Amino acid sequence: MGYCFKVSLYRQGIMHDFSKFSPVEFFNGARYFQGFQSPNNLERKVKGYSAAWLHHKGRNKHHLEYWIDYAQDEAHKMAGMEMPVNYVVEMFCDRVAASRTYRKEQYQNSDPYDYYMNSKDIYLLNPKTRLLLEKMLTSLKDNGEEKTFEMINKEILKK
């Protein structure tokens, strides 16, 4: 919420991950909580899938998985659709907050970038969405939070 507020995405900040209060996400999140990674990872390990994640990604537009659909030009091939800019920014904010939460006092501005780069090749992301996300993650790594959020406001959201 705090990061969304820094870029004037107030409604998105307030409603961010609101589905986590639904029974499937809340109770599974509590049951599989560990504190150092997403509880969905442990649920997936125990059950072979994460019901909480499947519910969550289908209801929150800041997750790239929400935007996966069949490609228009190829039969039965899945692809990432272009995400609206405000949801890409919210995804960036979410990644920074999650990195801070899981890394705690070891957090560095390069952590969200490193986490993304570790899985970059498996993400089904639209090329424009990928470039925009990478621009923000690289700026955070190289320039820090203050300059990155200033850049997001001026250049990306044009506020």
Q: Based on the domain organization, do 148 and 95 belong to the same domain? A: yes
Count structural domains, the chain: 2
Domain holding 72, by residue range, is 2-9+67-156
pLDDT value for 66: 97
Q: 112 and 132: one domain? A: yes
pLDDT of residue 36: 86
21: its two tokens: 């209060």
Closest to 156 in 3D by CA, of 84, 67, 99, 96? 84
**Structure token pair of residue 122:** 């498996």
Name the token pair of 147: 């300059």
Residue 159 has a pLDDT of: 77
Residue 135 and residue 81 share a domain: yes
59, containing H or E segment:
none
Q: 150 and 94 in one domain?
A: yes
What mean pLDDT value characterizes the chain?
95
Interatomic CA distance for residues 51 and 47, integer angstroms: 9
Q: What letter represents residue 92's amino acid?
A: F
Task: Judge if 54 and 130 occupy the same domain.
Answer: no
Q: What is the DSSP string of 70-84?
A: E-SSSTT-EEEPPPP
| Sequence letter at residue 74 | E
94 and 149 inside one domain: yes
pLDDT tens for 86-100 read 999 999 999 999 999
Residue ranges in the chain modelled with pLDDT below 70: none
Distances in Å between the alpha carbon of 82 and those of 124, 149, 152? 11, 22, 18
